[in-house]
């Protein structure tokens, strides 16, 4: 199996290293990842600037291609300019930090996998729901297992898997749940501060531990110690509202 | 009516100026927009850096607040740090270039309006489907009309309107269609080039004029000379695939 691997924490992050090591048991892994951290870039692509690609080593050996772009750029580059064969699977991660609820809209990790799905390749994003003391090994092992399953079963065109794990040792994980994207919003705000030169600046911060009334959500699975696997897709049309909007009878 | 206006072409772009002038007929317009062009930033937000806000003038008068962030940052800043009253409407645009089909995933313009919808405010994105000789006036006039309609009718929680206009004079526009997001992909690729120092670089390009078999799509409406209005939402869960995925019976 040919696997294209990317992330948004950058090619030198620990998460992508653990994931590459695991996925090599399933096939040929080509890493194309941002040369620096690109978190919260959303589904950005680089149109106005050229992209540079360099060879990156880890442990003194060739590890993959470092690109001066976003995760979506890396997936496009991997498929359209770097890999000789079209990949069977695109994997993005392992992200340091969960990508659940509306967070997935901001997520570079998810956007890497989305780009794979848009290009017609089965894809998945893998994130670890912590910013402290991450243990990536259970996530890497689960991603390997799920990769095999996706290869055998396939995914519907345009659908990808968004996988999140709580930061627990393998023996403490309670199981796997197929989940929905939580519709719960995070509560964020700006710290207004003054720099050493007397100028105002703003820094976004927030409380990222909301509750969710929806039992089936990714947020609730993670809180309860389960791996969450959410199938997502990118036709954003609100079909339920189409008829009512037609009844507005909007004219020029 | 209190209106928050943003865009992704930057606060000094023509599109946002035309839109501000039009929307002032409907209420108080607060402009919070990126200080430079931020196209194709997707739904990025700025977490790792502070945000600066400066006052921007046009025609020798105060026009709005220029922020060092993305359109989504600007909407958050506007609502949570700058505006004294919560806006009744968030508008993003007028973008130079269409935001239809899967383009909306990459679009800073749409992400500005999305952020408004996530924060519970009726929101719309407005784009003009051209990169040459834009005439923003019909789009500005239509946005003003639609803003009034949205104010009266409201929008479902989490739903926003993605509006695109072909670049035609008002008299040549054929009407308004409520549309779906086209599922047609654009064909893009990389030019591989060599810089003056002998180094390789890549530049993304493509053919952005695909056909779409779906008569109701935004792409087809624009091609036929109609304004397209697509209701979109941000629960990305692929509900149709949930049951099948549960049947995979994934274990740790």
Residue A7 CA, distance from chain mean position: 7
Of B47, B202, B231, the CB nearest to A245: B231
The answer as to whether B112 is a domain residue is yes
A43, A192, A197, A199: best mutation site toward chain B, by most B Cβ within 10 Å? A43
Rounded CA-CA distance B9/B38 in Å is 6
CB of A193 less than 8 A from some CB of B: yes
Work out the mean pLDDT of chain B and round it to a whole number.
94
The answer as to whether B195 is a domain residue is no
The answer as to whether B105 is a domain residue is yes
How many CB contacts within 8 angstroms connect chain A with chain B? 229
Whole-model pTM: value is: 0.93
Instruction: Mark which residues 3-32 of A lie under 8 Å from B by CB.
Output: none
**Residue A108: what pLDDT?**
93
Counting every residue written for chain A, the total comes to 252
Segment A75-87 shows an average pLDDT of 96
**Residue B127: what pLDDT?**
98
**Residue A159: what pLDDT?**
97
**Residue A212: what pLDDT?**
86
Rounded CA-CA distance A88/A2 in Å is 5
Name the pLDDT band for A226 (thresholds 50, 70, 90).
very high
Alpha-carbon distances of A27 from A70, A87, A88, A92, A139, rounded to whole Å:
25, 10, 10, 16, 18
**Residue B208: what pLDDT?**
66
**Cα radius of gyration rounded to whole Å, chain B:** 19
Tokens 């799905």 belong to: A117
Segment A46-51 shows an average pLDDT of 84
pLDDT in tens, B77-135: 999 999 999 999 999 999 999 999 998 998 999 999 999 999 999 999 999 999 999 99
A229: nearest CA partner in chain B: B245
The answer as to whether B42 is a domain residue is yes
Report percent pLDDT > 70 for chain B. Answer: 99
Name the pLDDT band for A208 (thresholds 50, 70, 90).
low
**Residue B212: what pLDDT?**
86
* pLDDT value at B210 more than 90: no
The answer as to whether B8 is a domain residue is yes
Name the pLDDT band for A77 (thresholds 50, 70, 90).
very high
Segment B188-199 shows an average pLDDT of 91
Identify whether the C-beta of residue B25 lies closer than 8 Å to the C-beta of residue B51.
no
CATH code at A236? 3.40.1210.10
pLDDT in tens, B229-248: 999 999 999 999 999 999 99
CB of B139 less than 8 A from some CB of A: no
B169, B238, B243: best mutation site toward chain A, by most A Cβ within 10 Å? B238
CB of B173 less than 8 A from some CB of A: yes
* pLDDT value at A42 more than 80: no
The answer as to whether A205 is a domain residue is no
Identify whether the C-beta of residue B161 lies closer than 8 Å to the C-beta of residue B95.
no
Cβ-Cβ contacts under 8 Å for B173 (sequence gap 6 or more): A252, B138, B165, B166, B225, B226, B227
Sign of the CA dihedral running B223, B224, B227, B231 = negative
Rounded CA-CA distance A187/B150 in Å is 26
* pLDDT value at A85 more than 80: yes
Alpha-carbon distances of B16 from A194, B76, B143, rounded to whole Å:
30, 18, 12
Rounded CA-CA distance B130/B135 in Å is 9
**Residue B186: what pLDDT?**
78
Q: 3-class DSSP state for residue B213?
A: coil
Structural domain boundaries, residue A170? 2-183+212-247
CB of A176 less than 8 A from some CB of B: yes
Identify whether the C-beta of residue A87 lies closer than 8 Å to the C-beta of residue A79.
yes
Work out the mean pLDDT of chain A and round it to a whole number.
94
**Residue B49: what pLDDT?**
84
* pLDDT value at A120 more than 80: yes
pLDDT in tens, B133-179: 999 999 999 999 999 999 999 999 999 999 999 999 999 999 999 99
The two structure tokens encoding residue B62:
């105060």
Name the pLDDT band for A33 (thresholds 50, 70, 90).
very high
Chain B residues with CB-CB distance to A173 below 8 A: 252
Chain A residues with CB-CB distance to B193 below 8 A: 50
Segment B5-24 shows an average pLDDT of 97
Chain B residues with CB-CB distance to A163 below 8 A: none
**What's the structural domain count of chain A?**
1
B105, B234, B241: best mutation site toward chain A, by most A Cβ within 10 Å? B105
**Residue A109: what pLDDT?**
96
Partner residues linked to B56 by β-bridges: B64
Name the pLDDT band for B73 (thresholds 50, 70, 90).
very high
């Amino acid at each position: 199996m040919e696997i294209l691997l990317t992330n948004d924490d950058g090619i030198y992050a620990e998460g992508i290293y653990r994931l590459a090591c695991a996925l090599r048991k399933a096939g040929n892994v080509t890493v194309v990842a941002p040369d620096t951290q690109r978190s919260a870039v959303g589904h950005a692509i680089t149109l106005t600037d050229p992209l540079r690609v360099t060879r990156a080593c880890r442990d003194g050996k060739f590890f993959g291609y470092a690109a001066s772009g976003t995760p979506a750029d890396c997936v496009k580059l991997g498929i359209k300019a770097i890999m000789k064969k079209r990949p069977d699977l695109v994997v993005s991660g392992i992200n340091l930090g969960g990508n659940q609820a509306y967070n997935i809209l901001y997520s570079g990790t998810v956007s890497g996998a989305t780009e794979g799905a848009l290009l017609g390749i089965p894809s998945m994003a893998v994130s670890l729901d912590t910013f402290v003391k991450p243990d990536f090994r259970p996530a890497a092992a689960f991603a390997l297992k799920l990769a095999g399953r996706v290869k055998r079963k396939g995914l519907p065109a345009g659908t990808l898997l968004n996988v999140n794990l709580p930061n627990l040792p393998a023996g403490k994980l309670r199981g796997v749940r197929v989940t929905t994207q939580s519709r719960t919003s995070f509560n964020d705000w700006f710290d207004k501060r003054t720099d050493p030169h007397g100028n105002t600046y703003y820094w976004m911060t927030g409380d990222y531990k909301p509750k969710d009334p929806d039992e089936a959500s990714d947020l609730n699975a993670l809180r309860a110690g389960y791996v969450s696997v959410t199938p997502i897709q990118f036709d954003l049309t609100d079909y339920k509202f189409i008829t009512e909007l037609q009844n507005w009878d909007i004219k020029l």
